[in-house]
Amino acid sequence: MNITVVGSINLDLVASAPSLPEPGETVTGATLARHPGGKGANQALAARKLGAEVLLIGRVGDDVMADEALALLDAFGVELSGVETDVDAPTGVALIAVDPSGENQIVVAAGANHTITNAQLPARIESPLIVQLELPIAMVEAAVGRATAFVCANLAPAQPVSEQLLRRCDLIVVNEIEAAFYGDLLHRGGGRVVVTCGAGGATMFQRGEEVARAVPPTVTAVDATGAGDAFVGAIVVAMLEGMEPEAALRFACTAGALAATRAGAQPSLPSRDAVDALQSA
């Protein structure tokens, strides 16, 4: 299975704190960790660890943060020939605060992610494609427009996109907040729409009608960062493998739950063996 991911690459700076701050509040007593991240990179690695061959198209800065941001992708065999270096913009950074329950707050400084151009895209993207919205929307729409196979769009973070993009997608993945932002627009195409609800599981729709529902296994959450990206990588792999909707949702919910049991976005992404083992437990 070959998948192309066009998306963001970041270095995550994660502060694990006793609580998340309210507006204007300073919270002390945190510990700091650095992890590779970015929704595009996370979803590429998620799919790779679940058995797919993955090409990532993205952009990093000419700085030491780029090496950290790409380290796990390289270690697990994600194809990085589509990643270019920008000598003028820094590697993207996400500032993440996490509380003991695993809830988080995230602020992203896009850096080189927002200097990526259509020139990096092949004229035709013939393998299944995954996109998110941490790149310029024009770039995302160009990638989808050049796709000739299955297209999954994770519409996060929520922002306006063309109805043409929505209609082209075979699969749209959103959380509850994003689903509320897009409303009925999500269901105007013929593709499937998955709405995730964290510990509440996920529901799949087609043309506005529910076709499947699943809940994740019970786990002890440590850090929810990356859980949604694990879900996206897993649901795409499951659907491309031909799993039925309910089985695909269960598989993806299990991957997302496992990702929440460890700190960091990419370090927490589960292997295929781990997902299969938890499903059969």
Nearest to 239 by CA among 277, 202, 199: 202
Asked about 229 being catalytic, the answer comes back as yes
Q: How far apart are CA 97 and CA 32, in angstroms?
A: 9
Q: How far apart are CA 205 and CA 201, in angstroms?
A: 14
Nearest to 245 by CA among 199, 192, 184, 196: 192
DSSP H/E element including 193 = strand 192-196
Q: Give Cα separations from 104 to 39, 98, 202, 222, 263 (angstroms).
A: 15, 4, 20, 10, 11
Q: How far apart are CA 152 and CA 9, in angstroms?
A: 18
Say whether 118 sits in a helix, a strand or coil.
helix
- Which position among 184, 229, 273, 276 bears the catalytic label? 229
53-61 vs 79-86, strand pairing mode: parallel
Say whether 83 sits in a helix, a strand or coil.
strand
Backbone angles phi, psi at 153, to 5 degrees: -115, 120
Nearest to 205 by CA among 193, 213, 191, 195: 193
Joined together, the tokens standing for residue 231 give 């879900």
79-86 vs 104-109, strand pairing mode: unpaired
Say whether 159 sits in a helix, a strand or coil.
coil
Q: How far apart are CA 99 and CA 148, in angstroms?
A: 42
Catalytic residues: 229
